[in-house]
Amino acid sequence: MRRRTLLGSAMIAGLLAGLVLSEPAAAPAERAAEPPMRTRFDRPDVPELLRGPSPGVAALERQCLICHGTPIILGQRLTEKQWRATVHKMREKFHAPLAAGSDDEAQIIALLAAALPPELPPAAPLSVQPPAGPEAVPSFAAVAGPFVKSEATRGATRYATTCAPCHGADALGGPGAPRLVGRAILADPIAFQLLLAVGRGTMPPFADPDSRAALELLAHLRARTAAARRP
């Protein structure tokens, strides 16, 4: 599974790179000066223990980011005992699929207790401008990423048959399934592909998560997000 995931990720990266190169008009040539992000916690204001790839960070990304974005985690300053109680509460009260006594549980508690103790001074939170109007898309905090129009168009067809019945034709949420537009996971193709591979809750695993179809779905959802942001 892990090997397959890595291969798939590399394929997605290759596809993305190829597509952007072949269709530069869809993603303006503007490169960041910052070094590449290693994990979803890799920001300058984050303790080093959380920034780099490690088994603990992988467990955190796998288990906690199902429901939480990173800021709510990074804002906590708790003792080991409090972190333990918090993780247990997520399982017992909120039914997080994190097995008692599992390696992931131990890794997460140890990492958070070491990286975010009470003594650590609070970091200044980011500031955002919320959207205006009654129909504005709420999750403006997420940055979805670039997409290629032709991929997004093919993704729309696949979306309509596979995803729309639960998530809604406009991907803004439907009966029993949440909104997909504007979600943070759209910025992270590997996490997106992982989610398709394993499914979530009542959502079955996607039949071909490593395929071009997965990338097309991602492009479609990024396109929808970009459209929703337009003033």
Nearer to another protein, 1 or 29 (CB): 29
Q: Which of 22, 68, 80, 153 contacts another protein by CB under 8 A?
A: 68
Apex 147 CA angle, 134 and 21, nearest 5: 155
> Distance between CA 133 and CA 61 in Å, rounded?
33
Which residues, 123 to 152, sit near another protein by CB under 8 A?
Answer: 125-136, 138-147
Which residues, 168 to 207, sit near another protein by CB under 8 A?
Answer: 168, 170, 172-174, 176-179, 183-184, 187-190, 200-202
Kindly state whether residue 227 participates in binding another protein, applying the rule CB under 8 A: no
Kindly state whether residue 158 participates in binding another protein, applying the rule CB under 8 A: no
> Which of 94, 48, 49 is CA-nearest to residue 68?
94
> Which of 138, 226, 229, 129 is CA-nearest to residue 186?
226
Kindly state whether residue 161 participates in binding another protein, applying the rule CB under 8 A: no
> Distance between CA 26 and CA 179 in Å, rounded?
25
Q: How far is the CB of 103 from another protein (least distance, A)?
A: 19
Beta bridge partners of 200: 203
Give the three-class secondary structure for 21: helix
Kindly state whether residue 69 participates in binding another protein, applying the rule CB under 8 A: yes
Nearer to another protein, 52 or 207 (CB): 52
Output the six-digit token pair for 209: 């998560």
Which residues, 42 to 61, sit near another protein by CB under 8 A?
Answer: 53
Kindly state whether residue 100 participates in binding another protein, applying the rule CB under 8 A: no
Question: Amino acid letter at 150?
Answer: S
Kindly state whether residue 96 participates in binding another protein, applying the rule CB under 8 A: yes
